[in-house]
Structure 1
Amino acid sequence: MIQLIATDMDGTLLNDQKKVSTENIKAIKAAQNEGIEVVVATGRSKEEAQEPLDEAGLTCPIISINGAETWDAAGNVADVKPLPYEEAMKAMKLLREHAIYFELYLQSGTYSESKEQAMDVIVQLMESIKGAVGTQIEMQRMANKRIQNGSISFVDQFETVLTDSSDAILKLLAFSTNLVILDQVEEELKENPYLAVTASARGNLEINAIDAQKGIALQAYAKQAGIPMESVMALGDNLNDLSMMKVAGYPVAMGNAAYEVKQLCTYQTDTNDEHGVANAIYTYTNLKKA
């Protein structure tokens, strides 16, 4: 019996317009009304995750930045897993040596050294998710929204925001269209035992502390709630979801999931544009579709 549902956001809970569909909203609220806990587990920052949830009228705990932070439903931070400073500096040096654009996630916010590159890489990321998501104009609009809504701040050099030792480093998010170089850098980063290196789409790398993973955060949340992992359903589509798929009793791959996710998961649902989260909730719980 499922007592806890953990869902990724991009490519999972959100459709290709970056919205939570009406069908997904109804299913999640139906689950919550029956006492099933619903947690969002995302690579996004809490602020980036909160916007589509607020728009959908959904309230739930959030595992953000791949497990670097866990927030309760009231918006209070419950746990933080920062990157060790020296290891973050090593990773930043390696990315710079290979001219790979990256963003810096701190507890105080998300930072970039280039607005132009921030625009370009978000468009590239959207294109990489499903070949070509919408028109070029629509992708530019979505990229502009991310910048204009304050999700990301711009600085001349990251070092200017790294002077406060109490402002923990939570993640480095790197992008490159040079997949050969990116793969080489990924392999080198993975040699560092203090780092967890994953991806949320082809062409990016997400670099966290080794204990900042969705699966670890989900296990901690379930334990605190007194819910056994065999009663947990986890839904996702990409490599940064694998750690929670490995520990959940009901690992569910989206229809649009990466090959590695589908290979690992026991169960599969429809795509994120076909309300896959809602369909999984109705299929694997006792809830009746409204």
Structure 2
Amino acid sequence: MVISKENASAIKKAQAAGIKFVVSTGRGYTEVKPLVKEAGFNCPMITLNGAQVFDEAGKLITSAPLHDQLTSKIIHFLKKQKLYFEIVASKGIYSDNKAKRIENFAELLTRVSPDTPYKLAVIMASARLELMNINYIEDYNELVEDKHTSIFKIVTFSNEGHKVLDPIRKELEQFKSIIVTSSSSSNIEINHVNAQKGAALQAYADNLNVPLDNVMAIGDNNNDLSMLRIAGVSYAMGNAITEVKQVAKRLTSSNTENGVGHAIDEVLKEE
């Protein structure tokens, strides 16, 4: 996964015009930073759906981890449902099943690039995971008990999508102090209620004394809704889910057609 030259060019053009560009993602800092560096620019980052916010120098500004007791309850609940899930913590991504990890990454690759055969995606996923900092662990409760580890996000998966995950999501939403979102139809992402892209974006804008009317947000999935709702200028990607397209004020092209770059260029021309 890379940031296209067209998108990177538009981002750099915005930065040259004095606009603060911020990456806002469900991924962790160590996953995203190499992509940004390779694209040739630097910026603050809202990561893990808002659970961690970093400045341009990579210094942690704010964090919103899940509490230990709550995390234990979620782990117990997901295990009871016999669902595979992963944990994103202060020391990286944790999985208790390597085969499932590869399967899920391969499924992601086929969604991003539909022309990729699944068998090839599995090979690519296996090779990619060897380069990523994935930690394999037998019992997730070891993380909860480690006082030197903070847990920021739990992600559970099902290739059956909404059929399996929607009922699970409804039950999870009964838990106090969490927010349940998703970044695809095949996952559920669980964060502390204070870890939301919208809240993180608003706090960052407030710190710069920038009114939300002058804030632009671009998104394509459920975990983007909170920031799209507060931004004065909001774009849905062409490949966005229906709810995102309903909430956003504008529409750009898809993620495979440099939609981010097109949206930025469109707004720059209006200035």
TM norm structure 1: 0.88
What is the count of residue pairs matched by the alignment?
A: 270
**Tell me, what secondary structure is at the counterpart of 1:227?**
coil
Give yes or no for the alignment of 1:84 onto 2:84. Answer: no
Aligned to 1:24: 7
Once the two structures are superposed, the pairs formed by residues 1-290 of structure 1 within 5 Å of their partners are 18-128=1-111, 132-179=114-161, 180-286=163-269
Is the Cα–Cα contact under 8 Å of residues 198 and 228 in structure 2 kept in the other structure? yes
- The gaps in structure 2 that reach 5 residues or longer are none
Which residue identity lines up with residue 104 of structure 1 in the other structure? I
Pairwise CA distance, 1:129: 5.2
Task: Tell me: higher relative CO, structure 1 or 2? Use CA pairs within 8 A at least 6 residues apart.
Answer: 1
- The gaps in structure 1 that reach 5 residues or longer are 1-17
Which residue identity lines up with residue 126 of structure 1 in the other structure? L
**Identity, % of aligned pairs?**
37
Residue by residue over 1:175-218, the C-alpha shift from the partner in whole angstroms, topping out at 9 and shown as x without a partner, is: 01243232111100011231100010011000000110000000
Within 1, Cα distance between the matches of 2:97 and 2:198?
Answer: 32
Pairwise CA distance, 1:84: 1.7
Within 2, Cα distance between the matches of 1:119 and 1:275?
Answer: 27
Pairwise CA distance, 1:142: 4.0
Within 2, Cα distance between the matches of 1:104 and 1:209?
Answer: 13
Pairwise CA distance, 1:162: 2.8
Is the Cα–Cα contact under 8 Å of residues 112 and 118 in structure 1 kept in the other structure? yes
Within 2, Cα distance between the matches of 1:146 and 1:188?
Answer: 34
Which residue identity lines up with residue 67 of structure 2 in the other structure? P
Which residue identity lines up with residue 162 of structure 1 in the other structure? V
Within 2, Cα distance between the matches of 1:259 and 1:287?
Answer: 27
Pairwise CA distance, 1:33: 0.8
Pairwise CA distance, 1:59: 0.7
Residue by residue over 1:14-63, the C-alpha shift from the partner in whole angstroms, topping out at 9 and shown as x without a partner, is: xxxx2111111111001101110100000001111112112211211110
Pairwise CA distance, 1:104: 0.7
Which residue identity lines up with residue 215 of structure 1 in the other structure? G
Pairwise CA distance, 1:152: 1.6
Is the Cα–Cα contact under 8 Å of residues 281 and 287 in structure 1 kept in the other structure? no
TM norm structure 2: 0.94
Residue by residue over 1:135-184, the C-alpha shift from the partner in whole angstroms, topping out at 9 and shown as x without a partner, is: 22442244224421233211111123333224211000110124323211
Pairwise CA distance, 1:126: 3.3
Change in 2 beyond 3 A, CA 1:287/1:22: farther
State the Cα RMSD in Å. 1.7
Is the Cα–Cα contact under 8 Å of residues 72 and 141 in structure 2 kept in the other structure? no
Within 1, Cα distance between the matches of 2:186 and 2:53?
Answer: 26
Which residue identity lines up with residue 81 of structure 2 in the other structure? H
Is the Cα–Cα contact under 8 Å of residues 59 and 73 in structure 1 kept in the other structure? yes
Residue by residue over 1:234-268, the C-alpha shift from the partner in whole angstroms, topping out at 9 and shown as x without a partner, is: 00100000010011001100011000100111101
**Tell me, what secondary structure is at the counterpart of 2:22?**
strand
